[in-house]
Amino acid sequence: MTYKFTASITKEGKWFVAHAIELGVVSQGRTIAEAQKNLQEAVELYLEETPGVKKELAREAPLLTILEAQT
């Protein structure tokens, strides 16, 4: 079964940190592509090790948008 997740990738120093928002799984890499690949592997391992979580997951990723706030 295929699931879709939202990933956020930020640069922290020399590393790109990738975060699967719905699961709270985090990984990193020296490039965006490496961080994304490492995150995919980490998510797959997480789903294998935590089979009960699959029942609670949506099959589609949520809609994301940008919000601006003025202070």
Give the model confidence (pLDDT) of 3-42 as tens digits: 888 899 999 999 999 999 989 999 999 999 999 999 999 9
Determine if the pTM surpasses 0.75: yes
- Alpha carbons within 13 A on the beta-carbon side of 21: 12
| Domain membership flag for residue 60 | no
* Token pair in block for residue 22: 């719905």
Between 66 and 43, the more confident residue is 43
Q: What is the pLDDT of residue 3?
A: 80
Count of domains observed in the chain? 1
Show the domain range for 46: 7-55
| Domain membership flag for residue 63 | no
| Domain membership flag for residue 69 | no
* Token pair in block for residue 49: 């090790």
**How far apart are alpha carbons 69 and 58 in whole angstroms?**
29
Among residues 38, 66, 46, 65, which one has the least CA distance to residue 3? 46
In the structure, what pLDDT confidence band is assigned to residue 58 with cuts at 50, 70 and 90? low
| Domain membership flag for residue 29 | yes
Q: What is the pLDDT of residue 5?
A: 86
